[in-house]
Structure 1
Amino acid sequence: MRSTTTVRLTALSLLAAAALTGCAEATTGGSDDGGEGGDRQEVLIGYFPNITHATAIVAQEEGYFEDRLAEVDAEPGYQDFNSGTDAYQAVQDGSLAMSFIGPGPALTAFTQGPDSVRVVSGAASGGAALVVQDDITSLEDLRGERVATPSLGNTQDVAARAYLADEGFETDLEGGGDINIVPTDNPVAVNEFRDGNIAGAWVPEPWASILVAEGGQVLVDEADIWPETDGQFVTTHLLVNAEFLEENPDQVKAVLEATVAANDFIASDSDTARDEVGAAVTRLTDAPLEPEVLAEAWGNLEFTNDPIAASLEEDATDAAGVDLLEGLDDAPPVTDIYDLTLLNEVLAEAGEPEIETP
C-alpha cells in the first residue's frame, strides 16, 4: 500500500565505475603447466564499485567467487559499467553472464525480452532518501524548485515522479511542472546542492549521506514507507542471462554460494566488511568516502539474499504510471523474472531459511 505522505524511492547504485577488468569471452585459457583445473571457463560478473554492491565486492575481496567457482572448474572475471543500461544490455545479449544491478534496469530488460534474463538472488535493500536544503520543511516548499535525480528514467527518477503525482504535483520529462525534476549525475548534484542551485535530490547511498554532510536534511527516508515489507525494498539484486542460467546451473550455483557467504560475512563482521568495501570503492574510483559518511550510509543499508519481489512489482507499476516503462502491458507478470531455485538449494545446504518464490 502506497503512503501518501512520503516518497517511495528505490535505490539504484550509481558511482562512477573504475578499472575492474574482465574478458567478455565465455572461455579463457587456464594454466598450461599441469596445475589444478587446466583450462577453466570464465564466468563474467558485472557490478558497480559502490557500497550498495557490497555483496559483490566482499565476495571478490574475500576470494569467495574464486573459491566456489574453482570447485566447478571455472573462474570469475569482472566487468565494470558506468550505467545500468550498459549492464543489463550486456546480460541480455550474453556478453556478460550476470550482473549485480538495480531494479530499474532489470525491469527494462525484462519488458524488452521476458525470456532473456532472470533475477536469481537479492543483494541489498534500503539506502535511499530525499535530501533537501535545511530551509525546506515540506513538499509544498519544493513547488517551483529544482530537485535532482540520478538520470532520466532511473529508479529514483521513476519513484520521484510517481510519488509527486500521487501527492498532486505535476512533473514532465523536460524538467517542467510544479516541481522541476532535473536528472543530474550524482557527483554533479552534490556540487549543485552545495552551491544552492537545487533544492534537493532523490538519491541512493552514499549520496544521501554525502548531502546530509553538506548541510542537508532528510525529508523522506524510503524505509519508512514500506510497511508491507517491514521497511525493505530492493536496491541491488543479481540479474543473470537466462540462457547461461539454463546451460550452466552449476556455475550460477557456485556464484550464489559466494554471495550467500559474503552476506554472512557482512552480517557477522559488519565493521570489517564496511571498511573493506570502503577501501575497495576508494581504490577503484579514486573517490574516497569520509569515514563518518561511510558509516552513516552503511547503516542505512541491509544486505540480504531476498530479492524482495513485492517492491519490484511496485516499481513496475510506478514506472508504467509515469510512462517510463514501455512494454509492461505486453510482458508476462513481473514475478516471472525470478528463478530462485538454485538460491534456495544453496540456502538449504547452508542451513539458512529459504526465500519464498514469488
Structure 2
Amino acid sequence: MRSRWLCGKRGIWLCAVWVVTVFCFSGALRAQTTIRVGAFPNITHAQPMIGKANGWFEKAMGPNVKIQWTSFNAGPSAIEALFAGAIDMTYVGPNPAITGYVRSQGEALRVVAGTASGGASLIVRSDSGIHKPEDFHGKKIASPQLGNTQDVALRAWLKAHGMKSQDKGGDVQVVPLANPDQLTLFLKKELDAAWAPEPWATRLIHEGNGRLFLDERDLWPQRQFVTTHLIVSTKFLREHADLVKNWIRAHVELTDWINTHQPEAKKLLNQQIQKETSKALAPAILDEAFGRLQVTYDPVRNSLLTSARSAYDAGFLGRQMPDLSNMYDLSLLNQVLAEKGKKAIQ
C-alpha cells in the first residue's frame, strides 16, 4: 500500500515537472521573433554589411530573435518589399523612403536612424569630352534606378545648370542602369557619365577610364547629406518597439565601432561584399571609396527635406509637395543616445 502511494506521488511529481517543462519550452518558442531586414551590398550600407559578416546584430538581439536578411540593388525595390510585408525594416536611401511615405499617405514607414552621409559622385568618362557643366548637353548619363537617390540628385543638378532630361523636353539622355552595367558601358564607350554611389563611383574611375567630375558632398552644407538611413514599417514599430530599440542600440554601437576600428571594419565590409557580389574590392578602391563617406547614426534630416523638394520638382511625388513632418521617429534613437550620454539628434 505504501509502495503504491509512493509510486503515485512520484508520478504526480514527474507529471508536474513535465507540464512545467513543456510550458516553459512552448513559452520560449512563442517568444521567438523574426526580424526581416533589407540592405544593399555596397559600402554606404556599412553597418548591415559588417553586421552580417561578424554577427553583430545576432549577438545583440539575443537567441529569441532570428534575423532574416534580404539584399536589394536599389531603393525602390526595397520599398516595394516593405509594402508587400516581405521585410520589416530596411537600410535605404532618402528618395525611395520619401516616395514610399508619400504613396502610403504617411502610414507605411518611419525613419528611425541614420546610416551614411556622403558617398555619391558624378563620374565622367575621361574621353567623353566633358570638362564643364555645359558639356553635358546631348550626353548619355546613368543613374542606378529611376527615382532612386542618385537619380533625383542628377536631375536636380541638371536643372540647376539649365538642362533637362529628354523625357522632360531636354537633350540629356538619363538612363536607369544597375551599377555593374554602368561600368560595362563605360568600358564600351556607350555611356558618357554616371551619378553613382560608392564603391561604384570609385570603380568607374579605376576600372572604367572614368574621372571624378563632382563629389556630391560639395553641394551640401558642411558637406553632409543623407545617403542611407534605417526605416521601419510603422506596424512593426508599433508592435515591437522594444526590438526596434535593441536594434537601434546595436546599430549605434556598431557605428561607433566602425569609426574607431576602420582597418578591421573595412576588411569585414569587403568580405561581405565579396560574399554577396562574388567580387571583393581592391584595397585601393575600398580606401578611396570609404574616404568619400561618413558612417553615422545621424539621419541628416534637413538634407532629406531638400531631396524631397528635388524629387517633387522631378515629378516623382505627385501634384502637391507632400507634408513630411511625421516621417521621422527618432524617439528610440534618442533614448539610446541618452543612455550612452550622447547628444540627442534633432
User: C-alpha distance in 2, partners of 1:95/1:54?
Assistant: 22
User: C-alpha distance in 1, partners of 2:38/2:177?
Assistant: 24
CA gap 1:123/1:103 in 2 versus in 1, 3 angstroms: same
- Aligned residue for 2:333? 343
User: C-alpha distance in 1, partners of 2:334/2:242?
Assistant: 14
User: What residue ranges of structure 1 are gaps of 5+ in the alignment?
Assistant: 1-31
- Aligned residue for 1:95? 86
- Aligned residue for 1:122? 114
Asked if structure 1 preserves the Cα contact closer than 8 Å seen for 2:81 and 2:87, the reply is: yes
Matched AA of 1:151: Q
Q: Name the SS of the counterpart of 2:299 in structure 1.
A: coil
- Aligned residue for 1:211? 204
User: C-alpha distance in 2, partners of 1:141/1:133?
Assistant: 12
User: C-alpha distance in 2, partners of 1:328/1:260?
Assistant: 36
User: C-alpha distance in 2, partners of 1:238/1:139?
Assistant: 33
Matched AA of 1:241: S
Are 2:139 and 1:148 equivalent residues in the alignment? no
TM-score normalized with structure 1 length: 0.84
Matched AA of 1:92: F
TM-score normalized with structure 2 length: 0.86
Asked if structure 1 preserves the Cα contact closer than 8 Å seen for 2:121 and 2:215, the reply is: yes
- Aligned residue for 1:85? 76
The structure with the larger Rg is: 2
Ranges of 4+ aligned residues in structure 1 off by more than 6 Å? none
Q: 2:166 aligns with which of 166, 172, 189?
A: 172
Structure 1 stretch displaced more, 162-171 or 337-346: 162-171
Asked if structure 2 preserves the Cα contact closer than 8 Å seen for 1:92 and 1:117, the reply is: no
Matched AA of 2:85: G
Correspondence list, 1:180-219, <5 A: 180-213=173-206, 214-219=208-213
Q: Name the SS of the counterpart of 1:337 in structure 2.
A: coil
User: C-alpha distance in 2, partners of 1:266/1:340?
Assistant: 22
User: C-alpha distance in 1, partners of 2:338/2:187?
Assistant: 49
Q: 1:139 aligns with which of 133, 145, 158?
A: 133
Asked if structure 1 preserves the Cα contact closer than 8 Å seen for 2:74 and 2:144, the reply is: no
Q: 1:112 aligns with which of 103, 127, 141?
A: 103
- Name whichever structure is richer in helix by fraction: 2
Asked if structure 2 preserves the Cα contact closer than 8 Å seen for 1:52 and 1:236, the reply is: yes
Asked if structure 1 preserves the Cα contact closer than 8 Å seen for 2:122 and 2:215, the reply is: yes
CA gap 1:295/1:36 in 2 versus in 1, 3 angstroms: farther
Q: How far apart are 1:33 and its partner, in Å?
A: 11
Q: 2:157 aligns with which of 158, 163, 166?
A: 163
Q: How far apart are 1:95 and its partner, in Å?
A: 3.0
Q: Name the SS of the counterpart of 1:49 in structure 2.
A: coil
Q: Name the SS of the counterpart of 2:223 in structure 1.
A: coil
- Aligned residue for 2:266? 274
User: C-alpha distance in 2, partners of 1:195/1:155?
Assistant: 26
Q: How far apart are 1:177 and its partner, in Å?
A: 2.4
Q: Name the SS of the counterpart of 2:212 in structure 1.
A: strand
Q: How far apart are 1:327 and its partner, in Å?
A: 6.1
Asked if structure 2 preserves the Cα contact closer than 8 Å seen for 1:313 and 1:335, the reply is: no
Are 2:219 and 1:225 equivalent residues in the alignment? yes
Q: 1:310 aligns with which of 293, 299, 302?
A: 302
Correspondence list, 1:273-292, <5 A: 273-292=265-284
Asked if structure 2 preserves the Cα contact closer than 8 Å seen for 1:156 and 1:202, the reply is: yes
Q: Name the SS of the counterpart of 1:173 in structure 2.
A: helix
CA gap 1:249/1:204 in 2 versus in 1, 3 angstroms: same
Instruction: Quote the sequence identity (%).
Output: 38
Q: Name the SS of the counterpart of 1:334 in structure 2.
A: coil
Q: How far apart are 1:328 and its partner, in Å?
A: 5.0
Are 2:7 and 1:42 equivalent residues in the alignment? no
Matched AA of 1:98: M
User: What residue ranges of structure 2 are gaps of 5+ in the alignment?
Assistant: 1-22
Asked if structure 2 preserves the Cα contact closer than 8 Å seen for 1:118 and 1:242, the reply is: yes
- Aligned residue for 1:76? 67
Asked if structure 1 preserves the Cα contact closer than 8 Å seen for 2:76 and 2:147, the reply is: no
Equivalent pairs, count: 319
CA gap 1:178/1:290 in 2 versus in 1, 3 angstroms: same
Correspondence list, 1:232-247, <5 A: 232-247=224-239
Q: Name the SS of the counterpart of 1:335 in structure 2.
A: coil
User: C-alpha distance in 2, partners of 1:34/1:91?
Assistant: 32
Q: Name the SS of the counterpart of 2:256 in structure 1.
A: helix
Q: How far apart are 1:34 and its partner, in Å?
A: 5.7
Asked if structure 1 preserves the Cα contact closer than 8 Å seen for 2:124 and 2:193, the reply is: yes
Q: Name the SS of the counterpart of 2:227 in structure 1.
A: strand
